């Protein structure tokens, strides 16, 4: 369970206990109450915490409204409620006083086995894709953000950074807010992604289709975010690829940048900051932009559509050495 989900849900549950039962509740008080109840001879007393979790699920979670994403302003979905319930239950399990026999219908987890793309797969999809699809593929490779965050990107999020960028230049870091984790990613745009975005913008302006969002045609929150996954599956088949029983979706593209940075030896905190995963404020304070850019450029040749050993890759290696020398001077 991620701390970005675990802690906020536990805090909401404690706040709800305070509203319903009064007094001030914190994790220590809750654990103490749980251990006292378990020593009781009264079976109802022993199950007091379970009863409160069930009430929380049926009342507070049933009326909670989504604050972001496609369901913004509407009641949260069943999967979100199940995630909140799991977060609260995992607190007790982690402290060796697990909850038992929660009378809440739990949906079985759906296991998705993603197809691991190769660069040959990506090149094949790129060649048969439209301007929009090509830009989406390169943005997923370059930013490493989750699909929902990519689809909510506006032109104003990226255009000020890349409008004056020189040809072949890595653009960034871009400060991009991620809705799922509620953190700001320090992401970069590869030269190929910049080129594709410029072409897409010119294409949309020429046809009068330029809107607020890069990949969304409408601002309606009911926009089907799985639309791009279906388009990727179509491109995958057009490129003559076969996934067998594995799932072709955007997440497979997202993992490529993260894994290549990992293979290059990038620290986990650097990888998480670039792809928009949760990083503590203390860690974010000591990781500077040059450090982030160095590791991104190191991984970039392996997620580029161009051939290895080309002039662009040679230039990237020169930039890595320049950044490393700057980091040495900074101490």
Q: CA dist 297 to 257, 266, 284, Å?
A: 11, 11, 19
CATH code at 119-330: 1.10.443.10
Identify the top-confidence range among 79-83, 117-121, 240-244.
117-121
What pLDDT is stored for residue 308 in this prediction?
A: 41
The burial class, CB within 10 Å (0-12 / 13-18 / 19+), for 210 is middle
Distance, CA of 47 to CA of 40 (rounded, Å): 10
Sorting pLDDT into bands at 50, 70 and 90, what band is 223? low
What pLDDT is stored for residue 152 in this prediction?
A: 83
Percent of the chain with pLDDT over 90: 2
Which pTM does this prediction carry? 0.63
Locate the domains of the chain by residue range.
3-94, 119-330
Distance, CA of 217 to CA of 199 (rounded, Å): 17
Q: How many CB atoms lie within 10 A of CB 50?
A: 19
What pLDDT is stored for residue 42 in this prediction?
A: 80
Residue entry with tokens 């909510």? 152
**Phi/psi of residue 44, each to 5°?**
-65, -40
Q: Quick check: 3 pLDDT over 50?
A: no
Distance, CA of 26 to CA of 24 (rounded, Å): 7
Q: What is the pLDDT of residues 32-71, one digit of tens each?
A: 888 888 888 887 788 888 888 888 888 888 888 877 666 6
């Amino acid at each position: 369970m991620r701390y970005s989900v675990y802690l906020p849900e536990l805090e909401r549950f404690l706040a709800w206990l305070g509203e319903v039962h009064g007094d001030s509740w914190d994790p220590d008080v809750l654990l103490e109450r749980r251990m006292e109840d378990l020593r009781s001879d009264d079976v109802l007393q022993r199950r007091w915490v379970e009863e409160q979790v069930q009430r929380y699920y049926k009342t507070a979670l049933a009326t909670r409204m989504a604050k972001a994403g496609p369901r913004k302003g509407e009641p949260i979905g069943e999967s979100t409620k199940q995630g909140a319930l799991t977060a609260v239950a995992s607190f007790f399990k982690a402290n060796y006083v697990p909850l038992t026999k929660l009378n809440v219908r739990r949906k079985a987890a759906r296991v998705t086995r993603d197809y691991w793309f190769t660069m040959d797969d990506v090149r094949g999809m790129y060649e048969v894709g439209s301007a929009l699809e090509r830009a989406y593929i390169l943005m997923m490779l370059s930013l490493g953000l989750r699909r929902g965050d990519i689809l909510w990107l506006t032109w104003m999020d990226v255009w000020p950074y890349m409008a004056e960028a020189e040809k072949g230049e890595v653009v960034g870091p871009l400060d991009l807010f991620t809705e799922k984790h509620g953190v700001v990613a320090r992401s970069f745009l590869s030269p190929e992604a910049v080129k594709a975005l410029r072409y897409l913008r010119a294409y949309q302006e020429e046809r009068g289709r330029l809107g607020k969002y890069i990949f969304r045609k409408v601002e309606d929150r009911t926009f089907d975010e799985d639309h791009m996954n279906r388009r990727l599956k179509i491109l995958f088949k057009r490129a003559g690829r076969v996934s067998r029983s594995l799932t072709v979706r955007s997440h497979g593209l997202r993992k490529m940048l993260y894994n290549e940075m990992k293979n290059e030896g990038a620290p986990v905190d650097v990888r998480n900051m670039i792809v928009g995963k949760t990083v503590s404020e203390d860690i974010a304070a000591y990781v500077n932009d040059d450090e982030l850019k160095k590791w991104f450029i190191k991984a970039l040749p392996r997620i580029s559509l161009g051939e290895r050993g080309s002039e662009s890759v040679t230039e990237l290696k020169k930039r890595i050495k320049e950044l490393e020398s700057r980091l040495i001077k900074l101490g």
